[in-house]
Amino acid sequence: MLSLPRSLARARPLVPSRHIHSQHRTTSFGFKTIPEESKESLVKHVFDSVASSYDLMNDASSLGVHRLWKDAFVSTLKPGRKGPLRCIDVAGGTGDIALRILDHARESYADRETTVDVLDINAHMLKEGFTRFKKTMYHNTPQVSFHEANAQDMPHSLFKDDSYDLYTIAFGIRNCTSIPAVLKEAHRVLKPGATFACLEFSKVNNPLFSTLYDQYSFSIIPLMGTILAGDRESYQYLVESIRKFPSQPVFAQMIREAGFATGGDRDGGAWTDLWGGIACIHTAVKL
Amino acid sequence: MSVLASFARRSTPYVKPIARSFFSPTVGSQHPAYQGHIPLNRFENAFLAAGSALISLANPRRGDMVAALGETTAGPSLDILRDRMLESPEGRRILKQRPRVTSQSVDMHKLAQYPQGTFGRSYVTWLERCGVTPDTREPVHYIDDPELAYVMQRYRECHDFYHCICSLPVNVESELALKFFEFANLGLPVAAISGVFGHLRLDAKKRARLFSEYLPWAVKCGGSARSLITVYWEERWGQDVEEMKRELGIWDPPEARWSKPLSEAAKAAAARK
């Protein structure tokens, strides 16, 4: 990551000194630098904690706008337009994207054969998604299934090579320990010619808008977490992790390095900025 | 959550300023002054005050929100309480030693050993009668000065002692009566806010009794009693309760509604011996 040299200078060992020699790989957890092995369990704690109020907090902190972003994301992809798709929605937890995919296929193209496999590393989040789906017509149908798995290391028995038409990951990739590993797995499970799509928070390039956005993120969002969910630290982590995520061109390059073909390095090419770059849709095709 | 919290304490050598604001200049230092300190600027403080007020009213079980409301609305009242403490020898001892009410300092078995009629024994009886235990209170986060943060923490932890010395149980109307008492005695805005809005949760009959019987008691007794923040409760376990009430200037409120009768609770307290 870009800021790794600076964060390494600030890093401090977390375990007794006799273990230092084995800890040379670090990653970021918000603004903190931590050993790579720790990130997964720390992120797990965050999502265990936020799962029950996740949807409420999304609505409160984005003032409902996350729904528009997710709608735009799925509309861009047009699932079902060229026939039924086998989709995999990774870090799909509470099922927002999976539901939109199935609804879009059904409403726009009368497609009831498209399937979505929802994958998440966190069982609490999956449970919320499963419960949400129980209120829909897709419950107990082959159209949706839920799996607890790690996006960086999906079991080959369940998630075979070259088997999916669409891979989506929305607001999940920045929480993963190693983005290249996630991209590699995405490349593995997608069929040649299939689409990779990622919706994620990104860099706001306009300096004035960026200042306002920072103020809002660092002042209001942790307070909302305190007030609505009784949990400031998880939301402090969430807003910090947004700042640590690579910028649009850097992420696009990482996607290409995983073996995907993208559009040009500009807004409208490899990525599409939403709301000035607060969120961003990256799309790519497996070669 | 404690994993994250302990992690936050251990892993950051450089303590990054937490709060910045467009809306007001930095108020004092923006770096944490004590463990658990979350500095807020004026805008954030107001936002949290409003949000915690709404949530406290909607869901009084959110103890963290009631605590946040107290801290964000404290204003100069904590300075005044600290001055009260500095004026009395007992208060000065509290500020120096900074006792905390924990499961060690409130050992129920040890307190049950005290003779009938002492403060220690009557506290255990009160806990039994209300069916509560001395639970750990939410730590202070939003007060900038560490000593004032301790004063706030002390107030929060002594709340149950006020219940005991005023012979009030933990149901809603008694809590409100005690809030009025606390406002008259200590002057904390949150006590007034809780009283002024909390009664909306009561039915008409209880509200009428609250205002006609408890409020006059609270104002008269709270206003004339010694400032309870200066009382070193932990030094007084063996003191006779009636003598203590005379010393502090407290008399009993109108009879309240308890969840257990006194005889049963006294038996249970004795059983702890």
Number of Cβ atoms within 10 Å of the Cβ of A44: 17
Do the bridges between strand A32-35 and strand A86-90 make them parallel or antiparallel, or are there none, so unpaired? unpaired
The reply, when asked if residue A111 is annotated as ligand binding, is no
For A152, phi and psi rounded to 5 degrees? Answer: -85, -10
Size of interface A-B (CB pairs under 8 A): 68
Half-sphere exposure of A119 (CA within 13 A, CB side): 24
User: Cβ(A218)–Cβ(B19) under 8 Å?
Assistant: yes
Q: Which residues of B touch A (CB under 8 A)?
A: 1, 3-5, 7-8, 10-14, 16, 18-22, 38, 41, 43-44, 47-48, 51-52, 55, 62, 64-65, 68
Return the minimum-mean-pLDDT range out of A171-175, B194-198, B238-242, B264-268: B264-268
Residue B269 tokens read as: 């307290």
Alpha-carbon distance A215 to nearest alpha carbon in chain B (angstroms): 6
User: Cβ(A167)–Cβ(A195) under 8 Å?
Assistant: yes
A6 interfacial to chain B (CB closer than 8 Å):
no
Interface test with A, best of B3, B21, B30, B42 (most A CBs within 10 A): B3
Domains detected in chain A? 35-286 (3.40.50.150)
Whole-model pTM: value is 0.80
B219 contact partners, CB below 8 Å, separation of at least 6: B180, B184
Per-residue pLDDT reduced to its tens digit, A99-129: 999 999 999 999 999 999 999 999 999 999 9
A25 pLDDT above the threshold of 90: no
Q: For residues A119 and B60, what is the distance between their CA atoms, to the nearest angstrom?
A: 37
pLDDT recorded at residue B269: 66
Instruction: Using an 8 Å CB-CB cutoff, list chain A residues near B13.
Output: 10, 12
The reply, when asked if residue A120 is annotated as ligand binding, is yes
Per-residue pLDDT reduced to its tens digit, B93-151: 999 999 998 777 778 888 889 999 999 999 999 988 888 877 778 899 999 999 999 99
**Contact across the interface for A223 and B55, Cβ inside 8 Å:** no
Decide if the complex's ipTM is over 0.90: no
Number of Cβ atoms within 10 Å of the Cβ of A257: 11
